[in-house]
Structure 1
Amino acid sequence: MLQVSNSGTLDSKGYAIMSDKNDCNLAEGGDSSCEMGNPRANRRCQITGLPDGFDKTGIHGEPTLFVANFLPLEQQPDLAVCEYRVEFDPPVESKAVRHRLMEQRHIQEDLDSAFVFNGTALYAASSTKLEGMYMARLPNTSEEINIRLHSSTRLRQNHPQAIVCYNIVMKSCMDMIGLKRVGKSHHDDQEKIELRECHIELWPGFETAIKQCENRLMLCIENRFRVIRTQSVWDVMSYEYERVRRNPKRFHAKMDEMLVGATVCTRYNNKMYRVTSINYGMSPVSTFTLPDGSITTLKEYFEKNYNLTVTQSEQPVIICEWRTKQADSLPCVVYLLPELCFPTGLTDTMRQNFRFMKEFSHHTVMDPEKRRKKTENLLRRIRNNDKCRILLLKWGIELTERLVSFHSWELEAEKFIGIHPQGYFGKRADMGRVMHYNGCFRGMHLENWVVVFCNTAMAQDMACQFIETVKDFGKSMHIAVNHPLLQTCSDTTTSSYHSAVVEAMERMATLRGRQERGRNRNFISIVRKIVLQMNCKMGGAPWKMNIPVKNALFVGYYHYCDPILHGQTGACVSTTDQDYTKFYWALYQYFINNDRTLPEKIFLYCDGVDEEQIGSFKEQGVSLVQQACREAITSSGLKPTCHRMKLAVIIVTKNINVRIFKCGADSTFTNPSPGTVVNSTITRAEKNEFYLVPSHVGLGTAKPVCYTVIYDDTGLSPDDHHRLAFKLCHLYYNWQGTVRVPALCQYAFKLASMMAQSVHGEVNKELRDKLFFL
């Protein structure tokens, strides 16, 4: 069937907002609260309750003034949100029809209150009671329908379901000022930026979410850009069909590669869909059954409902499927015509175009001051709009004048320790410039290695320069380098290089191929990175950090979901030594490498866990880890009464809308320094969480990462967790600085993505204690 959603509507008096499923489900709507009318909502919002008297704020570091992209909200203290159960007599099965009944003007005038209706319940911000009987008529038959409202409960202003209503109200304000709702965000198509070279448009916009922070409700405002192509999917199909010389088999394979798993935009309703498959057996004249039982063709449907003329009768049909979050729900299926939808995002060809990417970044990479001006302009448009003022007033909400400011902490710069114990302190957490004289903490002997190059004079000269540079750099880094085996190939094609590698190597190895056309101006930097990566793949470590926690096991977990194959892969990477520089993706190795002893503490950092999954992860995942610890103690021969492993489980969330700015003396915004920690004001009161900015950002705006401690009996203080997370961000050896998440999570992500996309099975056991997946 073809799914059609009802869009929200608001009358001229600002009375009613009809919310469809996407409005009420905040997994779709961009907020971290809960679904309206969902009994699991409250449980999701209180998954990490703090013990009485627990103080999660830190005190170590340099106190600094910061500003976040949060706007405090003022609320009328006497105006609460009331929930009403709605009954229709006779019963109305269609949710869409129930919406249309509540949209009728006389119903809104009789209620005389701002309300949100989700199909089964009505939420109103009113000091008067609305229960009673109301009469409406069916749109098609004029049959009388009695609508009875039963008073259910009075919600406090910070109740999760009240926050859902406030978010729907905020989305309606965005609609009123002329922004177009596209997916979770709103965009201004009147301010679109055209990049004609690659046939794309940039729609600037915002994503908003009202959240309950420490002591008040706040509106989070994040800048967004939507990349929309001006060429339709049908234009792309026609172009690729000619490129493969009209070969159907090659064409179908190419379309699966380009479109399946990609997101397309339908401009007739400004919605985003992820492509599941392409049905070449269907066409615009294919029929389907409407909810009322009538049969129509796709072509007739789009002409009748959207006034769109379909001209290409031979085009296939795009299939988009997904499941709702309700248990045991049937998959939702949407049919799209390539002629009427447009690809989104950038292609690989665009990303390889330096001129285009420079222009693209000029528009999309915004520094803190530019973000500030865009946000202030949005708030000015909302405040100056009469409809927005009326609507917000009816719901008892007032936007304050300025973004929230607060004092927080900057942690001290960490010391990179190489072969020399004095190490290197870098305020920008950048190790690249001092690697040559700081030495390598643990260098491996590069004994057997192969250099493959083309059989030309220039390639031979490049290979000799490369080998000499590798030896020179290895000497300064205390990495022993033997002369390599030289292997030539006939030309520069991939197949020739592959044949040469197969001929030179009789056993499996992890390789990095590079083709050079003349000497690169960054030749020395490239060689240094290659040497360091080879050293890491063999078990070496460029540096270590001073981590005072001893007899501990640090574990990184990543849950990888393949968007194309819809497969799921989980990967674990753990430390195996007391310097925390050896990593292994099986926990048993710790027992072997540490004189058959088990750790006293385990720190598990989990990445790739959605907000909706945190509750079930705490209820089920933590107990499974504890059970595994008990089994490990029993299997090792130790007595459970004499040895107990303490556990801390931390959820790491990268994809958040929070932005933190450092406030200068002249009130200008700049990026925070590496080591900035925020654990108050904008965090949630019921959770032990903090935000960390681990990296220096020169262009654009820094993106903090949220850490949520869902279980902890290790005895570490909040300050200890802050500094420990910052230290672990320094141990990713494929980058000469810090990464956004603890290095163990980044290693787990690399491992999980390789297993899911390429290997699809177990790898050689001899590689398990090596970072072969870098």
Structure 2
Amino acid sequence: MQSLQLARRPGYCESGQGIPISANFFSFQLSTGGDKIQKYAVNFEPAIADSLGKQRERVLNKVKGQLIEHIGKYVFATTALYSAQTSTQVTLISNFDNTDYTITVTPTGPVESDLEIKAFYNKFFNSVQGRLNLVMIGRKFFNPDRPVELPQHKLAIWPGYASSVGTYENGCLINIDISHRCLRTITVYDQIAEIRSKNPSDFRNAVAKYFIGAIILTLYNKKNYKVDDIDWDMSPNSTFADKNGQQSSFKAYYGSKWGKNIVHDDQPLLRCKTKQIEALLVPEFCVMTGLTDEIRADFNIMKDMAQATKKEPHMRLEESAGLIKAIKSNEKANIEVVNWKADISIQPVTLTGRVIAAGSIMMGGNANFKINDQTGSFDRDIQNTMYSQPNLDKWGVFFCENDRKLVESSFMTTLNQVISTYKVQCQKPVLFGVKSDRWNDWEQILRSNLNPSIKMIVCILPGSRGKSRLYDDLKRMIFSSLPVPSQCILNATLKKDKGLRSVVNKVIMQINAKIGGVPWALQNLPFSDAPTMAVGIDVFHKAGSHSVLGFCATTDKNFAKYVSLPKVNAPSEEICSQLSECMVQAITQFAIENGRPPARIVIFRDGVSDSQRSAVLEGEIPQIKQAFSKLRGDGKLPEDPKLIFLVVNKRINARFYANQGGKVNNPPLGTIVDRAVVEKNGYDFYVMPAKATQGAMTPTHFHVIYDDTGIRCDEVQQLAYRMCYSYYNWSGSIRVPAPCQYAHKLAYQYGERANNSGPPIPHTHWGTTRCLYFL
């Protein structure tokens, strides 16, 4: 098969209205007198493994002065170093840890590839940031000297930066965004003590569950490590052999090396493996970093953190530029910049964006309305007859008996009001009281009353947000063995009179989508001139478990009805192997419902990093083409559909700001950026699809990696934006096109329901039904 080529930009957005935009990208130039950056291979004898980057760097630093005399200022990147100066091979002797290393530095020629130039620039800029006394955690740098304290939550937040250098249409640019890192203000030892007081009988397992996999920071030298295990057999009084072979206790080592006195002898040690060594750390001198599920579930903590971290647009842009100002004002960092003759602008890149309209929504009874481009929300507008509403004739409500009064009064009263407002054609649901909140009782009554003819069940489950014990068991059963659409509501939600009507409004729309209806549809979408199928693809990954492929494809001209195909993969199985099967099923179903197969297919692929794009091009697209070949061979496809494949990325550091009347604000919804800060030889664009409730707006980045449709880029961008308004869990715009979000939700629902045997195996019924049962 002929190798596939990444798509090239066919043009630029000309639709909508132009708007001046500032981006958090800054010009970066190295003055090398016209010469290219030179690369040198570095060899150590005795050999030091490539994975031991820190050790290689330390050995090389012993002869840094001599090396600069031969090749000039350089940047070292584990296996190679880069310099602006051409030189011949040089051999040096470095003594490190009483060992003589012979270092041979050999020129390999100028750096030519964009990827390698980008790698050099990022290594150089990281070395400059390293001179600002910032702490590197992951790939970001944080300032420990300006913490934001949240004493009520025993947390501190370090401000910092996420930066990357790349080559764009406007040349070499640095993208700088502000970032934050959450740290505990109590030590890991204190946290272990808290866990022990709450779980005295099983505290070791509780400690392991909480800390293994977490990132911790050592207080004495600000290094970060990932916890691999808790060693309960060791303590600060345990001994180890130092580099001279002498036995020393951890207590004595910390006293002599760091001047730290260990107070608690009754603590285990934390095992942390790095590329160089296995470290044993003392909990008393460590703090945990990052957010746990427990913190994310705490509304008050997240609210206070948002207030501390969500910066208004003008402040966020100023703080991004603040990194460059800090470099220029810091003697050590600025010397590095001057020595390399680097020119870094403190002025952000400016460009012209285009603002396109969100369009209109179609409802039942031929009603329609224009989407409010200011808010992107239409919560009130859709409280009417839905676009398509199947008759809801067989359905029931299940609940614990002690919630009967709550269900019969509060819930059913509100439900009847909503049914009247939306003009839903339905029979009265049958009420089923379950005698307890034990799963065995629920399973018994569900299995004895449900069959495939039942349209829907509503389950009022005991518990509060994210804490219902019955939810996982119920969903596993529904997904794998009892295929009846279900809608779950927590009894804690029903107890809140305020907002209950809004909740039930959303519930009735979800119920409609789950039984094959369409709550609303988008009017006059692009690509409507020929039968077109829109597809969302995402993969759920969880360490130590099966992955789940979520594949959702539209089967109607409004891109509103879906065939949903979850596929559970074995731990070592590639998702590509099931893509072909999914595509065959989707095209077959499309042909059944439309009388012909699709002429065009638009794929939105979520969850792919920049480094994985080529792998998707080479691995996943051939599988899709293989499905076309199979269908042609079976006589079900007269010719291959035209295909456009977009990778969707919402975890990005690019930010855009509207320059309006001398003020810096968030850009309007529907702003498209496809100039200046996009790839020089690719086909990518940014969309501002969802309003920021607080702080700066986050764009979504689209990469078109394959395109044989010949469609204008304006239409591709319009479809990508407008389909952000057709996700039936939210009456407004979301950050990705609806097929993408449905695929994510589908994969997540199966992946998160995994037990020791893996995720539930999808019942065959779900592969043939046209409903979004997993919402």
**Normalised by the size of structure 2, how large is the TM-score?**
0.83
SS in 1 for 2:646: strand
Partner of residue 528 from structure 1, selected from 505, 509, 516: 505
Shift of 1:66: 0.8
- Counterparts of 2:709 and 2:167, CA distance in 1: 29
Query: Counterparts in 2 of 1:733-772, with a 5 A limit?
Result: 733-759=728-754, 760-768=759-767, 769=769, 770-772=771-773
Residue 663 in structure 1 maps to residue 649 in structure 2? no
SS in 2 for 1:401: strand
- 1:551 match: 531
**Structure 1 counterpart of 2:646, which letter?**
I
- 2:477 match: none
- 1:80 match: 36
- 2:614 match: 615
- Counterparts of 1:339 and 1:535, CA distance in 2: 55
For the Cα contact (< 8 Å) 1:214–1:683, is it kept in 2?
Answer: yes
Deviations 1:8-51, CA, capped at 9 Å, x for gaps: xxxxxxxxxxxxxxxxxxxxxxxxxxxxxxxxxxxxxx996555
SS in 2 for 1:57: coil
- Stretches of structure 2 lacking an aligned partner (at least 5 in a row): 452-481, 566-581
Residue 202 in structure 1 maps to residue 157 in structure 2? yes
Shift of 1:537: 1.5
- Counterparts of 2:110 and 2:718, CA distance in 1: 43
Shift of 1:765: 2.7
- Counterparts of 1:268 and 1:734, CA distance in 2: 47
Query: Counterparts in 2 of 1:286-325, with a 5 A limit?
Result: 308-320=260-272
SS in 2 for 1:613: helix
For the Cα contact (< 8 Å) 2:526–2:718, is it kept in 1?
Answer: no
Taking a change above 3 Å as real, the CA distance of residues 356 and 369 of structure 1, as seen in their structure-2 partners, is same
Taking a change above 3 Å as real, the CA distance of residues 177 and 761 of structure 1, as seen in their structure-2 partners, is same
Taking a change above 3 Å as real, the CA distance of residues 287 and 110 of structure 1, as seen in their structure-2 partners, is same
Identity of aligned residues (%): 24
SS in 1 for 2:503: helix
- Stretches of structure 1 lacking an aligned partner (at least 5 in a row): 1-45, 325-330
For the Cα contact (< 8 Å) 1:73–1:219, is it kept in 2?
Answer: yes
**Structure 1 counterpart of 2:396, which letter?**
V
Residue 471 in structure 1 maps to residue 429 in structure 2? no
Partner of residue 263 from structure 1, selected from 206, 215, 225: 215
For the Cα contact (< 8 Å) 2:268–2:283, is it kept in 1?
Answer: yes
Shift of 1:80: 3.3
The number of residues matched between the two structures is 705
Partner of residue 591 from structure 1, selected from 588, 593, 596: 588
- Counterparts of 1:511 and 1:296, CA distance in 2: 61
**Structure 1 counterpart of 2:708, which letter?**
D
- 2:72 match: 113
For the Cα contact (< 8 Å) 1:694–1:740, is it kept in 2?
Answer: yes
Deviations 1:660-690, CA, capped at 9 Å, x for gaps: 1111122x22112221111110011121111
- Counterparts of 1:689 and 1:390, CA distance in 2: 36
Taking a change above 3 Å as real, the CA distance of residues 461 and 569 of structure 1, as seen in their structure-2 partners, is closer
SS in 1 for 2:717: helix
**Structure 1 counterpart of 2:683, which letter?**
N
Residue 512 in structure 1 maps to residue 466 in structure 2? no
- 1:361 match: 306
For the Cα contact (< 8 Å) 1:189–1:203, is it kept in 2?
Answer: yes
- Counterparts of 1:702 and 1:430, CA distance in 2: 16
Deviations 1:141-190, CA, capped at 9 Å, x for gaps: 485x664433221236x843333232223223323233222221111111
For the Cα contact (< 8 Å) 2:128–2:327, is it kept in 1?
Answer: yes
Deviations 1:465-487, CA, capped at 9 Å, x for gaps: 43233223223323123222234
- 1:11 match: none
SS in 2 for 1:366: coil
- Counterparts of 1:675 and 1:501, CA distance in 2: 49
Residue 131 in structure 1 maps to residue 88 in structure 2? yes
Deviations 1:263-283, CA, capped at 9 Å, x for gaps: 333344534444455454555
Query: Counterparts in 2 of 1:214-363, with a 5 A limit?
Result: 214-244=169-199, 246-248=200-202, 251-281=203-233, 283=235, 308-320=260-272, 335-347=280-292, 349-351=294-296, 353-363=298-308
SS in 2 for 1:591: helix
**Normalised by the size of structure 1, how large is the TM-score?**
0.83
Deviations 1:611-668, CA, capped at 9 Å, x for gaps: 2221122112211110111112323x24x6x4222222111111111111111122x2
- 1:27 match: none
For the Cα contact (< 8 Å) 1:186–1:206, is it kept in 2?
Answer: yes
SS in 2 for 1:435: coil
Shift of 1:417: 1.0
- 1:773 match: 774
For the Cα contact (< 8 Å) 2:40–2:107, is it kept in 1?
Answer: yes
**Structure 2 counterpart of 1:619, which letter?**
E
Residue 654 in structure 1 maps to residue 650 in structure 2? yes
For the Cα contact (< 8 Å) 2:659–2:665, is it kept in 1?
Answer: yes
**Structure 2 counterpart of 1:660, which letter?**
F
Taking a change above 3 Å as real, the CA distance of residues 295 and 748 of structure 1, as seen in their structure-2 partners, is farther
Residue 540 in structure 1 maps to residue 517 in structure 2? yes
- 1:444 match: 390
- 1:22 match: none
Shift of 1:254: 2.8
- Counterparts of 2:79 and 2:68, CA distance in 1: 20
Taking a change above 3 Å as real, the CA distance of residues 728 and 192 of structure 1, as seen in their structure-2 partners, is same
- 1:190 match: 145
- 1:409 match: 354
For the Cα contact (< 8 Å) 2:325–2:346, is it kept in 1?
Answer: no
For the Cα contact (< 8 Å) 1:598–1:633, is it kept in 2?
Answer: no
**Structure 2 counterpart of 1:580, which letter?**
F
- 2:720 match: 725
- Counterparts of 1:591 and 1:420, CA distance in 2: 31
- 1:10 match: none
For the Cα contact (< 8 Å) 2:68–2:74, is it kept in 1?
Answer: no
Shift of 1:221: 0.6
For the Cα contact (< 8 Å) 2:387–2:521, is it kept in 1?
Answer: yes
SS in 1 for 2:604: strand
Partner of residue 706 from structure 2, selected from 711, 721, 731: 711
**Structure 2 counterpart of 1:80, which letter?**
K
Query: Counterparts in 2 of 1:635-650, with a 5 A limit?
Result: 635=634, 637-638=635-636, 642-650=638-646
- Counterparts of 2:684 and 2:627, CA distance in 1: 26
- Counterparts of 1:226 and 1:449, CA distance in 2: 48
Residue 99 in structure 1 maps to residue 95 in structure 2? no
For the Cα contact (< 8 Å) 1:47–1:615, is it kept in 2?
Answer: no
Query: Counterparts in 2 of 1:615-634, with a 5 A limit?
Result: 615-634=614-633
Taking a change above 3 Å as real, the CA distance of residues 420 and 291 of structure 1, as seen in their structure-2 partners, is farther
Q: Which stretch of structure 1 is more off in the superposition, 263-272 or 600-609?
A: 263-272
**Structure 2 counterpart of 1:184, which letter?**
R
Deviations 1:199-233, CA, capped at 9 Å, x for gaps: 11010111111111113111111110100012223
- Counterparts of 2:546 and 2:627, CA distance in 1: 25
**Structure 2 counterpart of 1:724, which letter?**
L
Shift of 1:557: 0.8
For the Cα contact (< 8 Å) 2:674–2:684, is it kept in 1?
Answer: yes
For the Cα contact (< 8 Å) 1:539–1:771, is it kept in 2?
Answer: yes
**RMSD, aligned α-carbons:** 3.3
For the Cα contact (< 8 Å) 1:415–1:423, is it kept in 2?
Answer: yes
SS in 2 for 1:444: coil
SS in 2 for 1:403: strand
- Counterparts of 2:489 and 2:678, CA distance in 1: 45
- Counterparts of 1:285 and 1:177, CA distance in 2: 37
**Structure 1 counterpart of 2:58, which letter?**
R
